[in-house]
Amino acid sequence: MKLTYYGHSCFLVETAQARLLIDPFFTGNPSAPVPASAVTCDYILLSHGHSDHTGDAAGIASECAATIIANHEIAEHYGAQGLKVHGMNPGGGHNFPFGRVNLTIAFHTSSFDQENPPRYAGCACGIVIEADGKRLYHAGDTALFSDMQLIGRRGLDLALLPIGDNYTMGPEDALLALDYLRPKLCVPMHYNTWPPIAQDAAAFAARAAQADHLVNPLAPGRSLEF
């Protein structure tokens, strides 16, 4: 499978059968290497309602006729706009044509934060994708939690983990998350977009290497095969 990083928490995952875009945030994202109009996909997976994860979801879903996969409340929100949606909730999995998606717990808030007042957007989630014999975990925005051990138990080829601190776990807790998850590879996310989440990803990777964890701080716009 091919992974492309678009900055912040946005990734494109290309499986044999489908293009999956996770947490699309291009417009207003200072780290986005391309505009939203440059990306095409078949599915859009959303971890929670915050605008730095859902900002371009409706626009891209409409442009590409993509199906939005998210928690029930977020799916209902976009379904009411006439978009194709598939609602789920933590603990639940579903077999899609490209593979299986499971939503996991995450410790974070979730709302449609661009509305005044912000409106409930279900709970924040993590996302596990199984396709082409690989298993990938996008943690969304979250604190460290010990149940990550369970997510790692079936084996992970790739974990996408926030390291920004302030809004999510920072590097210290992300190192503990790696001990729980034991992925073959970790790509850090949710850092350096704005000053409050500035982090040294190379230093994080070096500290992870001391504990035998492989971390690849992918620059926005870059891809890797896993």
Q: Which parts of this chain interact with Mn ion (CB under 5 A)?
A: 52, 141
Min. distance of Cβ 97 from Ni ion in angstroms?
A: 29
Binding status of residue 8 toward Ni ion by CB under 5 A: no
Question: Binding mask 39-68 vs Ni ion (x if CB under 5 A, - otherwise)?
Answer: -----------x------------------
Query: Three-state DSSP class for 207?
Result: helix
Binding status of residue 141 toward Ni ion by CB under 5 A: yes
Query: Three-state DSSP class for 148?
Result: helix
126 contacts 101 by C-beta, under 8 angstroms: no
Cα separation, 41 vs 51, in Å, equals 19
Query: Which lies closer to Mn ion via its Cβ, residue 15 or residue 192?
Result: 192
Binding status of residue 173 toward Ni ion by CB under 5 A: no
Cα separation, 126 vs 105, in Å, equals 6
Query: Which lies closer to Ni ion via its Cβ, residue 130 or residue 141?
Result: 141
Min. distance of Cβ 51 from Mn ion in angstroms?
A: 9
| Closest listed residue to residue 126, CA positions, set 149, 146, 156, 151 | 151
Chain residues in the site for Ni ion (CB under 5 A): 50, 141
